[in-house]
């Protein structure tokens, strides 16, 4: 079976200005280099749009990757205020987060639109960090498996097995995001195993073995290790705790 390396993604959301972004990344790279801590790990930071270019320049030649937090579903046109994959590609960005629950909730992004975004991202050869996850109400009715399955069926599973190689799946129960509440390690493992089994049913063993499934939702430096040691958890998508350098470093080292 193919061994998957661990992946840690910092989702900075709408935080940090130019100075905070660049000094964090410089300091982070310096420490990672000195302590040689990213061996066999993939580390990705997703800053805000205005700082993607400089962040990407700073991390050139290092193992740090920079991701965008969103893209528009077309490549150009009259969409005031929007940013496209065509533009991001021209500054060297190759990864994008899609389907985050905050985009679904505050910007009303539905699975159909997300599939359009997936198509344009694939057209520009992006790696896609695709988020799925149930609400508190859905979990309390034990509907989490049904919800996650339909989120995948309406988006990622409309892609070919070749296209699916460009994905990381992030399971993020909505009620655990930014709340300090987390799913238990067992609940997360069960959901990840379920997601992997869906990939197995749809695309077969080799795709299901290689697909990265990350957990997100109130990961911090104290719980990261336990999440990351679950069999089907290949790393994490980290919000709040990725904004403090020392905390984020401890998570990366978990
Ligand atoms: P959190 O956010 O770590 O602050 O819960 C995770 C996310 O939204 O990706």
Of 42, 72, 73, 100, the catalytic one is 100
Residues of the chain with pLDDT under 70: 1-2, 38
Counting from 1 in the atom list of ligand 1, the atom nearest the Cα of 242 is 3
pLDDT in the model for residue 204 = 97
- 6-253: what CATH class? alpha beta
Question: Is residue 227 within 8 Å of residue 215, measured between CB atoms?
Answer: yes
> How distant, in Å, are the alpha carbons of 32, 64, 100, 242, 247 from that of 132?
30, 24, 7, 20, 25
Atom 2 of ligand 1, nearest CA residue: 239
pLDDT in the model for residue 2 = 57
pLDDT in the model for residue 75 = 95
pLDDT in the model for residue 51 = 98
Question: Is residue 97 within 8 Å of residue 46, measured between CB atoms?
Answer: yes
Helix/strand/coil for 132: strand
Atom 7 of ligand 1, nearest CA residue: 239
- For a mutational test of ligand 1's pocket, the pick from 98, 170, 239, 242, i.e. the residue with the most ligand atoms closer than 8 A to its C-beta, is 239
Each residue of 9-38: pLDDT tens digit?
999 999 999 999 999 999 999 999 898 886
Give the residues surrounding ligand 1 with Cβ less than 6 Å away: 11, 172, 177-178, 216-219, 237-241
pLDDT in the model for residue 165 = 94
């Amino acid at each position: 079976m193919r061994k998957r390396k661990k992946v840690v993604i910092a989702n900075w959301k709408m935080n940090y200005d130019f100075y905070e972004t660049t000094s964090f990344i410089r300091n982070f790279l310096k420490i990672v280099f000195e302590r040689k801590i990213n061996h066999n790990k993939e580390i990705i930071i997703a800053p805000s749009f205005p700082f993607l270019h400089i962040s990407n320049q700073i991390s050139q030649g290092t193992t740090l990757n920079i991701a965008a937090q969103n893209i528009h579903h077309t490549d150009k046109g009259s969409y005031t205020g929007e940013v496209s994959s065509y533009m991001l590609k021209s500054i060297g960005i190759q990864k994008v987060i899609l389907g985050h629950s905050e985009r679904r909730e505050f910007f009303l992004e539905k699975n159909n639109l997300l599939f359009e975004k997936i198509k344009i991202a694939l057209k520009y050869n992006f790696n896609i960090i695709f988020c799925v996850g149930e609400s508190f109400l859905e979990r309390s009715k034990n509907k989490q498996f049904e919800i996650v399955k339909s989120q995948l069926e309406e988006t990622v599973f409309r892609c070919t097995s070749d296209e699916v190689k460009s994905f990381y799946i992030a399971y993020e129960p909505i009620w655990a995001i930014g709340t300090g509440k987390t799913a238990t390690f067992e609940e997360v493992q069960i959901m990840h195993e379920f997601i992997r089994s869906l990939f197995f049913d749809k695309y077969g063993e080799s795709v299901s073995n290689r697909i990265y499934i990350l957990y997100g939702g109130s990961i911090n430096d104290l719980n990261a290790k336990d999440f990351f040691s679950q069999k089907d958890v290949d790393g994490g998508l980290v919000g709040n705790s990725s904004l403090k350098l020392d905390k984020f470093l401890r998570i990366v080292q978990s």
